[in-house]
């Protein structure tokens, strides 16, 4: 048995652990430097991403869309005549009648710039308490393609403030147009109204009546006629309304009381000379005026998607987007409501009569009012009075005016100024003073359109029209509103007209410093 060897002297060499530790320490140094470089690259990437986000926020998608109109063969100008309807059901059981109107939509195989472009529509006036309405209204549409079209007429019973009752529809399909097309004949054609989409309640009452009366028929009828007026002028890929050039005034007394907006009870007080102030009433007015087309092709703007929720709202996607879309549609129908107080009218296109009607709807220069406007792709101009008050500002959003349309022609604000005379105030802003002449009489507003200026801008955060299209807007308005002097204000001067609302102290300065003739 071998004895254990005595322990030897301690080894002066470093242990394996220390070697490993030392080697590990020396190996970590280059790895740490590489990690620092990776982190630096990562931080640089984050900074670049932030810069890109800031760039996108400064110029989000939307605004002016320079997409040209597609090529299309020449089309035809067609006149649709909505004569009358008969044997309509009585949607109102109390009065045993209806308040019928017709809503027409025309579609055709014509190329569009974008699939979101809205179809062409027309609404007749509402006739009260009748089941045999005789509208006798014409609708003239240009650039209907030779390949034909589809006209869908929906009949409704106006039932404000409840939902309008549908009374049925008629669909007419025409597969070919040509010079000398006879249309539906000289006397038109009577179509049977499809009841499947109509109000079940109205037709149930009609069925009970038909059982009691042997000669009573269940099917309503609609009398239409169509006529080709000739070839249309270019641009051929743009269907548009030629006539009627009509106007509609919507009244909302409840909204007027909530927002504190007052108007003259007699519209003649807006321009008439009176020793005492006319009677006023609370009312919020929404205006529609159909301009004679075509709208210049460069007037084409998409909503600006400066937030993801905005895109979902316009496209009605997601829960929040659908809710917001429905709320805005509801707000539009509330402001632009049709009821027994709604006024309708027609004027000669491109005439002094058109200019005078526009001035009446804008109350001439009374009170230094500022209006928010939207012009649709078919030339329908909608506008309401705006103001710094929260309630009025909320009801003057361009999204509401356009009825959440993805594309519009133009949007902004405007006001009316009388040339060579003082501006009269109105009492809706809490001022009872009036500008008076030396003899103490209230200054009379002239009714000559040449005595007024239309100061218009492109101030819209929703659509952000490009200032380069303002000359095209001027041509459209000059053509439709002859005699009125047009001036433009660029978007950066927005504070000037808003600050000039009360008493109009700064209006002249705003026009002199920022105005530019169109």
DSSP string for 437-460? -TTSPBPPPP--GGGEEEEEE---
Q: What is the mean pLDDT of residues 165-185?
A: 91
Whole-angstrom distance, CA of residue 465 vs CA of residue 349: 26
For 14, 20, 22, 23, 24, the CA distances from 17, given in Å and listed in that order, are 8, 5, 8, 10, 10
Both tokens of residue 471? 């000359």
Indicate the pTM of the whole model. Answer: 0.78
Provide the pLDDT for residue 55.
56
Provide the pLDDT for residue 56.
54
Q: What are phi and psi of 375, to 5 degrees?
A: -115, 120
pLDDT one-digit tens code per residue, 252-292: 877 777 766 777 766 655 555 443 456 777 778 999 999 99
Both tokens of residue 408? 């519009």
**84: nearest Cα among 137, 39, 40, 35:** 137
Reported confidence tier of residue 475, pLDDT bands at 50, 70, 90:
very high
Q: Is the pLDDT of residue 206 over 50?
A: yes
Reported confidence tier of residue 484, pLDDT bands at 50, 70, 90:
very high
For 196-243, strand residue ranges (E) read 221-231, 240-243
Whole-angstrom distance, CA of residue 129 vs CA of residue 348: 29
Lowest-confidence range among 217-231, 273-287, 372-386, 387-401? 273-287
Reported confidence tier of residue 353, pLDDT bands at 50, 70, 90:
very high
pLDDT one-digit tens code per residue, 435-453: 444 444 444 457 889 999 9
pLDDT one-digit tens code per residue, 297-351: 999 999 998 888 888 899 888 999 999 999 999 999 999 999 999 999 999 999 9
**172: nearest Cα among 188, 196, 158:** 188
Average pLDDT, the chain: 79
Q: What are phi and psi of 239, to 5 degrees?
A: -75, 140
Q: Is the pLDDT of residue 138 over 70?
A: yes
What angle is formed at CA 227 by the lines to CA 229 and CA 69, rounded to 5 degrees? 60
Q: What are phi and psi of 53, to 5 degrees?
A: -65, -40
Contacts (Cβ under 8 Å, ≥6 apart) of 470? 458, 488, 518
Provide the pLDDT for residue 92.
79
Whole-angstrom distance, CA of residue 282 vs CA of residue 305: 36
Provide the pLDDT for residue 431.
41
Both tokens of residue 194? 């499809």
Q: Catalogue all structural domains in the chain, each as residue range(s) with its CATH number.
A: 76-237 (2.60.40.150), 243-517 (no CATH)
Provide the pLDDT for residue 438.
41
pLDDT one-digit tens code per residue, 85-107: 998 988 777 777 889 999 999 99
DSSP string for 238-304? --EEEE--EEEEEEEHHHHHHHT-EEESSGGGGTS--SSPPPEEE-EEEEEEEPPSPPPTT--EEPP
Check: CB of residue 167 under 8 Å from CB of residue 89: yes
Secondary structure of 119-136 in HEC code, one letter for each residue: CEEEECCCCCCCCCCEEE
Q: What is the mean pLDDT of residues 132-158?
A: 95
Cis peptide before 180, with omega less than 30 degrees from 0?
no
Using the CB atoms, write b or e for 480-509: b if 16+ within 10 Å. Answer: bbebbbbbbbebebbebbbebbbebebbee
């Amino acid at each position: 048995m071998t004895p254990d060897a005595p322990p030897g002297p301690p080894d002066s060499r470093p242990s394996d652990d220390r070697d490993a530790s030392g080697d590990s320490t020396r190996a970590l140094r280059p790895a740490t430097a590489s990690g620092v470089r990776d982190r630096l690259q990562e931080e640089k990437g984050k900074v670049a991403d932030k810069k890109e986000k800031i760039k996108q926020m400064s110029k989000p998608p939307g605004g002016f869309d320079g997409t040209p109109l597609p090529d299309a063969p020449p089309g035809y100008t067609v006149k649709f005549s909505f004569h009358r309807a008969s044997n309509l059901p009585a949607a109102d059981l109390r009065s045993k009648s209806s308040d019928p109107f017709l809503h027409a939509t025309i579609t055709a195989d014509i190329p569009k710039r974008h699939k979101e472009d809205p179809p062409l529509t027309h609404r007749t006036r509402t006739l009260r308490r009748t089941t045999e309405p005789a509208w006798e209204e014409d609708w003239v549409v240009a650039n209907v393609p030779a390949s034909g079209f589809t006209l869908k007429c929906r009949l409704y019973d106006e039932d404000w403030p409840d939902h309008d009752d549908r009374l049925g529809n008629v669909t007419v399909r025409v597969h070919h147009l040509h010079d000398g097309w006879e249309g539906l004949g000289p006397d038109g054609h009577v179509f049977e109204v499809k009841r499947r989409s109509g109000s079940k309640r109205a037709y149930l009452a009609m069925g009970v009546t038909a059982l009691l009366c042997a000669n009573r028929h269940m099917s309503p009828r609609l009398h239409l006629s169509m006529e080709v007026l000739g070839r249309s002028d270019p641009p051929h890929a743009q269907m548009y309304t030629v006539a009627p050039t009509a106007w509609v005034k919507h009244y909302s007394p409840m909204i007027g009381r909530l927002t504190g907006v007052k108007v003259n009870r007699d519209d003649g007080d807006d321009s008439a000379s009176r020793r005492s102030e006319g009677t006023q009433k609370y009312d919020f007015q929404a205006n529609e005026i159909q301009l004679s087309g075509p709208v210049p092709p460069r007037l084409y703007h998409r909503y600006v998607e400066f937030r993801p929720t905005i895109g979902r709202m316009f496209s009605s996607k997601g829960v929040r987007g659908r809710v917001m879309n429905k709320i805005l549609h509801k707000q539009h129908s509330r402001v632009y409501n049709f009821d027994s107080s709604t006024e309708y009218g027609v004027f000669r296109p491109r005439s002094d009569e058109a200019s005078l009607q526009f001035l009446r709807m804008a109350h001439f220069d009374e009170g230094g009012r500022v209006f928010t406007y939207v012009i649709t792709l078919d030339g329908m101009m909608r506008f309401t009075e705006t103001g710094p008050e929260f309630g009025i500002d909320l009801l003057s959003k361009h999204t509401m005016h356009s009825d959440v349309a993805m594309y519009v022609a133009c949007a902004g604000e405007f006001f009316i100024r009388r040339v060579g005379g003082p501006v009269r105030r109105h009492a809706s802003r809490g001022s009872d003073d009036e500008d008076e002449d030396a003899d103490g009489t209230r200054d009379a507003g002239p009714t000559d359109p040449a005595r007024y200026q239309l100061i218009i801008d492109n101030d819209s955060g929703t659509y952000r029209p490009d200032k380069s299209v303002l000359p095209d807007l001027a041509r459209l308005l000059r053509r439709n509103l002859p005699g009125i002097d047009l001036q433009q204000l660029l978007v950066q001067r927005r504070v000037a007209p808003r600050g000039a609302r009360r008493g109009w102290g700064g209006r002249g300065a705003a026009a002199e410093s920022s105005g530019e003739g169109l």
